[in-house]
Amino acid sequence: MTNATNQPPVMKILDAQDKELMTVRKIEREGNALIIRGKIFGAMPMVAKLTPTQARAALRLLDWRTILFLLTMLFRRG
């Protein structure tokens, strides 16, 4: 019998209608990049790479209110 505690951790990214867009199974470092492994729409395997240049570009998309929200997000109820 499979128990929920025996399942590997996953993170789901949802769309505006709470439908699953992507399931992230692993995030790991590869050199100076962050590698994200998972599946899109529950079926198509995907490997994404986040470089330092693109991480800096992502930070420029955030305003101060969103940065504060991100810092407190882990402590909010889901």
Give pTM, 2 decimals: 0.75
Q: What residue spans define the domains of the chain? A: 4-73
pLDDT-based confidence at residue 3 (cuts at 50, 70, 90): low
Identify the bridge partners of residue 12 per DSSP, sorted by sequence position: 23
C-alpha 73/C-alpha 68 separation (Å) is 9
- For the stretch 7-26, pLDDT in tens is 889 999 999 999 999 999 99
